[in-house]
Amino acid sequence: MKNRLPLLDHYLLKQMLPPFVVALAATLVALLLERLLMLLDHLASAGSSLTTFIGLLTDLLPHYMGLALPAALCIAVFLTVQGMSDNNEIDALLAGRVSLLRISRPFMQVGLVLGVLSVLLYGYIQPVARYDYRAGFYFAAHTGWAPHLQAGMFASTSGRAVMTADDVSHGGTRLKRIFIRELNDKGIAHIITAKTGLLTISNATQSTQLDLWNGEIIDDPFPAAPQHHPSITHFDHVVRVIDRPSHQEAFRSRGADERELTMFELMTALRHGYPGITYRALRAELDFRLARALAIPFIPLLAAAFAMGIKRRRPVYGLIAVAAILVGFDQIQLFGHSFAAAGSAPVWLAIWVPEVLFCVGCMAALLRRSRGSWIRRKLVRPS
């Protein structure tokens, strides 16, 4: 069966794939690391389960994937072209009248595919994932009772109960030498003491669960029933539900923020209006997503142009320059989006002028490098 891809394109894509996968994984880990530490600290202090953490992490992936894809594409193209340049493969191709534009064609095709996938990512996956993350974080913070205990201090777990512990560790979840006093509906006091305890969020009851080990329960009926004597019960392990809410407060519906609306919902809202969100904010959000996706196919041109450095020059300078350009362009787009949403600047000026300048600049950089290579070829051609 005949290969559908030309031999050169097949070779270039084969060289590009490994660094792209490695760069994508490394970029995702780097972007997620700070947020992961914040999530771990917050969820551990609230006593949330590992299932909650994994769910929030899954909701974060689409957002950081949108940042990691362009970066990984740029790094992969740069390393591929720079490696071929060091091995004189680029010189051999140029000597065979294969231009840099022709060499960059498969990279542009990959960028075009990623740009189309980014429309789906920015337009539909990210808005839903952003809402799911906010909802999950809200329930992790508000479900049950997550006390911030301090050693030797009393904390009110409800209107009729207080507790304290002599030693508190692991963000308030591991307790030692615990004392709890609570009153039931009949006015009978229950005094609970235990050597150790563990606070967790119960997945079954969606409330805070307190596991106690090696303790006693003292039922004191005075003064509600002074004729009865106190009773003492010893236990090895007992589970107490600190707070069992009668109803779970629902999180708000999706769409309070324009970033939670899908592309189709944004276009519909622009035609018919949307409560609580201005037309400028809706238009700026829609154009911002489209501009980010349309810029991705031009990134390989910029990376290939800077990867074709002068011999004996350190290639790291070219990679730093490309990274600075991409980060600067991303920040300009973010500022433009904010200005357009606030009405401080028109959308075409704040978003599309930097977009056009970036795309034209990427093409100009590669054409200039390609023209320079063609001139050098003519100068060194034997007579």
List the chain domain ranges. Answer: 7-142+253-380, 155-241
Which amino acid is it at 314?
A: R
pLDDT tens-digit readout, 283-322: 999 999 999 999 999 999 999 988 876 555 556 778 888 9
**For 106-120, 179-193, 269-283, 344-358, which range has the lowest pLDDT when averaged over its residues?**
179-193
Instruction: Judge contact between 301 and 366, C-beta under 8 A.
Output: yes
Overall average pLDDT of the 63-74 stretch: 94
Closest CA to 130 of 289, 275, 248, 274: 289
CB-based contacts of 347-356 (< 8 A; 24+ apart in sequence): 347/280, 347/283, 347/284, 347/287, 350/284, 351/284, 351/287, 351/288, 351/291, 352/287, 352/291, 354/329, 355/291, 355/294, 355/295
Least confident piece of the model among 206-215, 219-228, 251-260, 330-339: 219-228
The set of residues, in sequence order, having a beta carbon less than 8 Å from that of 285 and lying 6+ positions away, is 258, 259, 261, 266, 337, 341
Phi, psi (degrees; rounded to nearest 5) at 33: -60, -50
Q: pTM higher than 0.85, yes or no?
A: no
- Of these ranges, 106-120, 140-154, 218-232, 312-326, the one predicted with the greatest mean pLDDT is 106-120
How far apart CA 88 and CA 113 sit, in angstroms, is 29
**Ramachandran angles phi, psi of 214, nearest 5°:** 55, 75
Average pLDDT of the chain?
83
- The predicted pLDDT at position 225 comes to 58
Mean of pLDDT values over 24-31: 92
Confidence of residue 223 (pLDDT cuts 50, 70, 90): low
Please, are residues 110 and 300 in contact by the beta-carbon 8 Å criterion? yes
Indicate the pLDDT class of residue 202, thresholds 50, 70 and 90. low
Is the pLDDT reported for residue 247 higher than 60? no
- Predicted pLDDT of residue 46: 60
At 169 the pLDDT is: 77
Task: Indicate if the pLDDT at residue 185 is higher than 80.
Answer: no
Segment 57-84 mean pLDDT: 93
Percent of the chain with pLDDT over 90: 43
Model confidence at 2, pLDDT cuts 50, 70, 90, reads very low
What pLDDT, on a 0 to 100 scale, did the predictor assign at position 201? 64
Taking alpha carbons only, the member of 6, 24, 18, 13 closest to residue 106 is 13
| 207-220 and 189-202 strand pairing | antiparallel
Whether the bond into 127 is cis, omega within 30 of 0: no
Q: Output the pLDDT for position 124.
A: 94
Q: Per-residue pLDDT averaged across 267-275, rounded?
A: 91
Mean pLDDT of 29-53: 76
Which pLDDT value is given to residue 374? 44
